[in-house]
Structure 1
Amino acid sequence: MPHSTPETHVIAFRAAEQLLAARDPRGAVKLLDPLIAAHPESTAARLLRARAFFAAAQLRAAELEFTIVLEREPDNAFAHFALARTYQRAARPDQARRHFRLAAALDPQPDYVAAAGFDAAP
């Protein structure tokens, strides 16, 4: 990022959020790449980039980013749920089930509990 400052990083992050909301995940990734290069420790930026990769159907990249987030924040229920959805789309049901269940255990909101399938057979 030329002339990057904390302010320009915040602007890039917010713009990436807007692009993702506007269904332009590739544009969001383009804004987030230099931001993460400058601040690799930013879990929020990595989580947003993971969501953008998922929306762009770049499942391996999404998996990597969600995994990095979970290494830093193992109790992040949303990251577990999103990683499970990534595995589900990649036809990896056993891994998906594990993370759906972790998400539901960490935060028993209805979407997470339903996806965990606790009533279903293992």
Structure 2
Amino acid sequence: MRALSYGLGQQYFEERDYRGAIRALKPVVDETPDDVGTRLLLARAYYHAALLKPAEEHLLEVIEREPTEYYAHLMLARTLERQSRRDEAGKHRRIAAALTGDDEILEAHTH
């Protein structure tokens, strides 16, 4: 069941049906809270659905479990920027840049 829900969530995400992805992925994350990959995909779906508070909460959970997951830091920076929280975002951009060695990450992009 879990693999089916994850696959469906991934398919919804790829089709840009972010709310469908959230519905499919949320039960998987609830069942397996330590699965960083699924939680990161769920956070991305929340971000793209403009549900920024749940996106932030899940990204913080990912970072707590995997502090070196650079993409979670980058997504958290973008999420905070969309909430006009640039100072907090800068910290996570710097961490992502340090983890990847890519200074271009330091340039804020607003989507």
Aligned with 1:42 (options 35, 53, 58): 35
- Partner residue, 2:48: 55
SS in 1 for 2:60: helix
Structure 1: which 5+ runs fail to align? 1-7, 118-122
Amino acid in the other structure paired with 1:42: D
1:1-122 alignment to 2 at 5 Å? 8-109=1-102, 113-117=103-107
Counterpart AA for 1:19: Y
Kindly report the root-mean-square deviation, in angstroms, between the aligned alpha carbons of the 2 structures.
1.1
Indicate if the aligned counterparts of 2:52 and 2:79 stay in contact, CA closer than 8 A.
yes
| TM-score for the superposition, normalised by structure 1 | 0.83
1:4 match: none
Q: Name structure 2 gaps, 5 residues minimum.
A: none
Runs of 4+ in 1 over 3 A off after TM superposition: none
Percent pairwise identity: 38
Compute the TM-score of the two structures, normalised by the length of structure 2. Answer: 0.90
- What is the rounded CA distance, in whole Å, between the counterparts of 1:60 and 1:93 in structure 2? 15
- Name the amino acid aligned to 2:52: L
Please give the alpha-carbon distance, in whole angstroms, between the structure 1 residues aligned to 2:91 and 2:33. Answer: 27
